[in-house]
């Protein structure tokens, strides 16, 4: 299900302090990018932010749930994306703090590091 225009406008407004905010489709979901980093997804107008070892405990303390899905073979995959605690929707400053942590987690993710290295090598080849 696509994100409604009103919810998308809310996200863009509240996340404006992070710089350029984009909504892009990733794996059939509405992804949220800020400053070039995929910091989360929107599913049924619920936001899931990226976590890492340093931030996941805060989500668990708030009873946030991880995004999970079943593969075709029946295996359940639990991701590092957790629901944003409901209280944050009414506290834009705190919401942005959590979004910044999600962006940092996204930038430190091994897959993001590999992409940046690959892009750097590709750009270097074009210059040489």
pLDDT at 83: 97
pLDDT at 122: 66
pLDDT at 50: 96
Query: 18: closest CA among 117, 107, 110?
Result: 107
Spans of the chain, pLDDT less than 70? 1-2, 110-128
pLDDT at 96: 96
- Gap between the Cα atoms of 49 and 43, Å rounded: 11
- Gap between the Cα atoms of 85 and 83, Å rounded: 6
- Gap between the Cα atoms of 68 and 45, Å rounded: 16
Is-contact 58 49, C-beta < 8 A?
Answer: no
What are the chain's domains? 5-127 (3.30.1460.30)
Contacts of 43 (CB under 8 A, 6+ apart): 1, 29, 30, 67
Q: Residue 42: enclosing H or E segment and its boundaries?
A: strand 37-43
> What's the pTM value of the predicted model, to 2 decimals?
0.82
């Amino acid at each position: 299900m696509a994100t409604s225009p009103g919810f998308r406008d809310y996200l863009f407004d509240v996340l404006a302090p992070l710089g350029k905010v984009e909504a892009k489709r990733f794996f059939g979901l509405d992804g949220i990018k800020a400053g070039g980093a995929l910091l989360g997804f929107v599913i049924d107008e619920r936001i899931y932010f990226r976590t890492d070892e340093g931030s996941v405990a805060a989500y668990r303390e708030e009873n946030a749930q991880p995004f999970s899905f079943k593969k075709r073979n029946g295996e359940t995959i639990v991701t590092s994306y957790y629901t944003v605690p409901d209280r944050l929707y009414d506290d834009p400053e705190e919401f942005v703090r959590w979004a910044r942590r999600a962006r940092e987690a996204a930038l430190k993710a091994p897959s993001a590091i590999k992409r940046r290295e690959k892009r750097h090598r590709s750009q270097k080849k074009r210059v040489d």
